[in-house]
Amino acid sequence: MPRQLFFDTPEAFLQELRAQLASGVPRRCLQVHLPYHLHEVEELLIGRPSRLRYFALTGGLAGFGGGFLLALLTSIDWPVITGGKPIVSVPPFLLVGYLMTILIGSLSCFAGFLWLARLPSPEILLAGQPFESRFVLSIQDEDAT
């Protein structure tokens, strides 16, 4: 069960958050609930760049390869000779690969966002605690994470 600290002012909340980080509490063990956005909290809790870019890169490369392979294998399986053009022609295949890059890259980026944000999380939806206009700092035990 996480320990929850309640604050009425943002100054007291930020002071306690800085104190917890200075005492060695890992960032992954802290969870904040704010009535409005505070830029200082974002600066304190953001550690390293997100891994979301790797999802987008992997999805984009898989989409391009899959789209190119789809067009290639389709034209080999059903050869349509028109006007003396070659059956395997790269420029039209690049268009299909480009479109599949956008499609699969965006879908994998969205799936990566859901995965990294731990969404949808039924336990968070069921634990809907109204904090109203208070600043809440939840500290979990390091063993529980």
Give dist(CA 7, CA 34) in Å, integer.
Answer: 10
**What's the predicted TM-score (pTM) here?**
0.65
Q: How many residues does the structure list for the chain?
A: 145
Please give the pLDDT value at position 117.
82
Angle of helix 90-116 relative to helix 52-77, nearest 10 degrees, comes to 150
- Main-chain dihedrals φ then ψ at residue 33, nearest 5 degrees: -125, 120
* Token output for 60: 């984009």
* pLDDT surpasses 80 at 60: yes
The arithmetic mean of pLDDT across residues 11-40, rounded, is: 90
Closest CA to 135 of 54, 24, 22, 40: 40
Please give the pLDDT value at position 4.
87
* pLDDT surpasses 90 at 71: yes
The arithmetic mean of pLDDT across residues 64-85, rounded, is: 91
